[in-house]
Amino acid sequence: MEQKRVLVIDDEENIRYMLQLILEDEGYLVEQAADGEEGIQKVHQGHFDFVICDIKMPKISGLDVLASVIESSPNIPVIMISAFGSMDTAIQAMKQGAYDYVMKPFKQDEILLTLKKAEERERLRLENQFLRQEVEKKYHFENIIGKSVGMQEIFKKIQKISDYKTTVLVTGESGTGKELVAKAIHYVGNRREAPFVAVNCAAIPHELLESELFGHIKGAFTGAISHHSGLILQAHQGTLFLDEIGELPVALQVKLLRFLQESEIRKVGDTRVVNVDVRVIAATSRNLAEAVKSGIFREDLFYRLNVVPIHLPPLRERREDIALLVRHFLKKFTAETGKQIRDITPEAMKLLLEYEWRGNVRELENVMERAVVMTEGALITTEFLPEELRKTQSEIALTIPESLLSLKTVLRDVTVMTEKTLIIRALAHTNNNRTHAARLLEISHRALMYKLKEYNIP
């Protein structure tokens, strides 16, 4: 094992040499500093695993040395040496961040035991840091975050298909992160060095969409004053992401289908065809199968796009990911704003866990950005969350439309909302232990399992 380096700072020469002999016998590498100024200088210049420092020294006191070490190297444990009768100063040092203290005159075993305890604490800190990093790697996949079973399955599927040209159809509600999935497939796979071109089919006017996708030649139509390569050609050897594919006009669906089957395009106004190598990932928040039945989406194109389907579940169906996302956005927005916000209160987290999140991850991100901007202290509290989150579920349930007069309907809706709220609250309180949650709810485990399925609670 690598030898640990210890810096001993004391104005008494005999104490310094005694500590050096004791520690070197135990296998430590030891350096000395005769006063606080020299000690601070050595900490700044070299790497030390531990610092042992006397509290009472001339010029610069041990407390000043402690403050300097914490500021420059906060992870170095500092053990203070205190003379008899200086207990108050030793306690003050602990409050300022010292790991521990030993009283003069100290025994050899006493100083070694304190140092071994500090070494063990440092080992545990590094181990926890490593584990946190591993957890972050596990649950963060190319900016997609989730530890739920559904998200882990999506991560595995992305890994499997990323190197292949196979067409992918990503479905899910607005705000679930469909473009993030498309980018993950592109940047994890072997096309990562080539372009990723994203097109929102709903954002471009229908009359311009064909030209934007397939390109045009000069003079093809009024206003075509120069050649335009088109977005498909721009994505050559890379990935074309067609967002909101369900909004593609029927006439253009035929041309897209031919491109997918033949891997060739013809620009507007041109007679020549151009071969292209493009992987296509399409996404939609619409039910394309229903659109096919309605005759607004071609069945053959649907099957050509739906070779590898990936469905992103809404956030309300993967509540175990909410806390993970909250921590991620807290870290992101504190870094962007420079604010020193440490955490979110349990009460505020509870509201976030119980909210329905109809806008999914995008809505949660916006809420966290606002909370970070508005928060003035070190913790995000409930007062910095939007009003709609602070409403109780019963208040929401009792917001009854004036046109609704059916007592039966209202009572049914209130019962459903109340039951669902209490179940979610019990699961949160018991850390998702369903047996304990059933006991809190005073229902059988079987009844709870039935209600979880009925209300679609993961």
CATH code, 435: 1.10.10
Q: What pLDDT does residue 85 have?
A: 62
Query: Facing residues of 93 across strands?
Result: none
Mean pLDDT across the chain = 86
Together in a domain, 299 and 154: yes
Together in a domain, 74 and 194: no
- Residue 90, pLDDT above cutoff 90: no
Q: What pLDDT does residue 449 have?
A: 84
Share of the chain above pLDDT 90, in %: 47
pLDDT tens, position by position, 188-235: 889 988 999 999 998 888 888 888 899 888 877 777 777 888 899 999
Together in a domain, 286 and 188: yes
In one-letter notation, the amino acid at residue 374 is M
Q: Which two tokens stand for residue 62?
A: 């041990």
Q: For residue 144, is it within any domain?
A: no
- Residue 397, pLDDT above cutoff 50: no
Counting the structural domains of the chain, the total is: 4
Contact by Cβ (8 Å): 321, 147:
yes
Beta strands 140-141 and 78-82: pairing type? unpaired
Distance CA 90, CA 83 (A): 9
Per-residue exposure over 39-69, b if at least 16 CB sit within 10 Å of its own CB, e if not: bbebbeeeebbbbbbbbebeebbbbebbbbb
Mean pLDDT, rounded, for 96-102: 89
Q: What pLDDT does residue 389 have?
A: 84
Q: What pLDDT does residue 365 have?
A: 94
pTM to 2 decimal places: 0.59
Q: What pLDDT does residue 368 have?
A: 95
Share of the chain above pLDDT 70, in %: 90
Q: For residue 433, is it within any domain?
A: yes
CATH for 87: 3.40.50.2300
Calculate ∠ Cα 83-10-63, nearest 5°: 70
Together in a domain, 235 and 309: yes
More confident residue, 439 or 279: 279
Mean pLDDT, rounded, for 49-69: 91
- Residue 393, pLDDT above cutoff 50: no
Distance CA 353, CA 320 (A): 8
- Residue 396, pLDDT above cutoff 60: no
Q: What pLDDT does residue 369 have?
A: 95
Together in a domain, 302 and 227: yes
Contact by Cβ (8 Å): 90, 99:
no
Q: What pLDDT does residue 403 have?
A: 56
**Backbone dihedral region of 375: left (phi > 0), alpha (psi from -120 to 50 degrees) or beta?**
beta
Q: What pLDDT does residue 134 have?
A: 53
Distance CA 119, CA 255 (A): 68
- Residue 163, pLDDT above cutoff 90: yes
Query: Facing residues of 239 across strands?
Result: 196, 279
Q: For residue 347, is it within any domain?
A: yes
Q: What pLDDT does residue 228 have?
A: 81
Distance CA 145, CA 137 (A): 10
Distance CA 445, CA 99 (A): 47
pLDDT tens, position by position, 324-336: 999 999 999 999 9
Q: For residue 361, is it within any domain?
A: yes
Query: Averaging pLDDT over each range in 92-101, 104-113, 159-168, 394-403, which range is the top one?
Result: 159-168
Mean pLDDT, rounded, for 80-106: 83
Mean pLDDT, rounded, for 363-367: 94
Q: For residue 70, is it within any domain?
A: yes
CATH for 354: 1.10.8.60
Residue 421, Cβ neighbours under 10 Å: how many? 16
Together in a domain, 181 and 291: yes
In the listed set 313, 338, 353, which residue is the last one of a domain according to the structure?
A: 313
Together in a domain, 163 and 288: yes
The boundaries of the domain holding residue 191 are: 149-313
Q: What pLDDT does residue 168 have?
A: 97
Calculate ∠ Cα 46-51-52, nearest 5°: 140
Q: What pLDDT does residue 443 have?
A: 84
Mean pLDDT, rounded, for 43-54: 90
CATH for 166: 3.40.50.300
Nearest to 255 by CA among 212, 219, 301: 301
**Backbone dihedral region of 432: left (phi > 0), alpha (psi from -120 to 50 degrees) or beta?**
left
Mean pLDDT, rounded, for 148-166: 93
Mean pLDDT, rounded, for 410-417: 54
In the listed set 282, 313, 344, which residue is the last one of a domain according to the structure?
A: 313
Beta strands 144-145 and 140-141: pairing type? antiparallel
Distance CA 360, CA 124 (A): 37
Q: What pLDDT does residue 155 have?
A: 92
> What element of type H or E holds 79?
strand 78-82
What are φ and ψ of residue 210, in 5° steps?
-60, -45
pLDDT tens, position by position, 304-361: 999 999 999 999 999 999 999 999 999 999 999 999 898 999 999 999 998 989 899 9
DSSP assignment of 166-187 equals --EEEE--TTS-HHHHHHHHHH
- Residue 395, pLDDT above cutoff 90: no
Residue 198, Cβ density class (10 Å: 0-12 exposed, 13-18 middle, ≥19 buried) = middle
Q: What pLDDT does residue 334 have?
A: 93
Together in a domain, 157 and 234: yes
Q: For residue 75, is it within any domain?
A: yes
How many H-runs (helices) and E-runs (strands) does the chain carry? Answer: 20, 16
Contact by Cβ (8 Å): 414, 379:
no
What SS3 state is found at 100? Answer: strand
Q: What pLDDT does residue 210 have?
A: 87
- Residue 404, pLDDT above cutoff 50: no
- Residue 374, pLDDT above cutoff 80: yes
Reduced to 3 DSSP states, what percent helix, strand and coil does the chain have, rounded to the nearest 5? Answer: 55, 15, 35
Q: What pLDDT does residue 394 have?
A: 43
Q: For residue 139, is it within any domain?
A: no
Q: For residue 142, is it within any domain?
A: no
Together in a domain, 220 and 292: yes
Together in a domain, 125 and 247: no
For residue 124, what are the CA distances in angstroms to 23, 33, 96, 250? 22, 28, 21, 61
Together in a domain, 153 and 213: yes
Local confidence band at 398 (pLDDT 50, 70, 90 cut-offs)? very low
Together in a domain, 343 and 305: no
Q: What pLDDT does residue 451 have?
A: 82
